Amino acid sequence: MVKPSGQAADTKTRILDAADAVFVRRGIDGARMQDIADHAGVNKALLHYHFRSKADLARAVWLRIASSFVPGIFQMMASDISLDEKIDRFVDAYHTRLAKHPYLLGYVISEAARHPDFVADFYSAERRQAARGMLERLGEQINERARRKKIAPVAADQFLVTLVGSCLFPFVAQPMFAEALGLSATGVRQFMKRRRTELPALLKRTL
């Protein structure tokens, strides 16, 4: 494969940065390719040279963010740091990432449901192996914790899904729980701030 020249690579990076900024403000559905081109300082023809459609561009933005985030999470969760510290770091990392890129979650969920290859594009054989290593180490730590506390252990895969879901769901369901709890926009922000602080302790009590 021929690598892009330095100038082409810089242009592509500017476009990805611009798309991320516009998506954050307007969401993917509300974003226009012309707005992204203007933000990147390129003409629309050059934008379409690098990315044929808005869907292709959104996928590229997601893959870039995931590539900078997920491998580090896998490595951290597979390490020998304590289980409590892993929960603290995981919750903090996910809340930081989703607060910075709020449009990503809805997009990934909808696209993954319609096009399973969207996620398959990211999970290479190497990353799948890293995920298995992460689960194996988590299982060892959960079993050791259960032996110390003399309780039945939680399955590592079930715990991981609970951990991820606990982080993701409030971002997906904000309109629903805001209405149910009678929260204003300020109230939602305060709720999410408390959630980020209180969730680790809640999760630790499940082990």
Q: What is the DSSP string of 6-28?
A: HHHHHHHHHHHHHHHHHHHHHHH
Q: What is the DSSP string of 166-192?
A: HHHHHHHTHHHHHHHHT--HHHHHHHH
* pLDDT tens digits for range 38-83: 999 999 999 999 999 998 998 899 888 888 888 999 999 999 999 9
Averaged pLDDT score across all residues of the chain: 90
Using CB atoms within 10 A of its CB, is residue 159 exposed (0-12), middle (13-18) or buried (19+)?
buried
Same domain for 79 and 180?
yes
What mean pLDDT is predicted for residues 2-24?
81
d(Cα 154, Cα 141) in Å, to the nearest integer?
11
pLDDT per residue as tens digits for the range 115-131: 777 777 788 889 999 99
In tens, the pLDDT along 81-95 reads 999 999 999 999 999
Q: Which residue has the tokens 């590229």?
A: 60
CB-based contacts of 154: which residues, under 8 Å, 6+ apart? 142, 146, 206, 207
The Cα 192–Cα 180 span in angstroms is 15
Kindly report the CATH number assigned to the domain that includes residue 41: 1.10.10.60
> Are residues 20 and 105 both part of a single domain?
no
pTM above 0.85, yes or no: no
44 and 81 co-located in one domain: no
pLDDT tens for each residue of 127-186: 999 999 999 999 999 999 999 998 899 999 999 999 999 999 999 898 999 999 999 999
Q: Find the domain containing 74 and state its range.
A: 59-204
Q: Count of domains in the chain?
A: 2
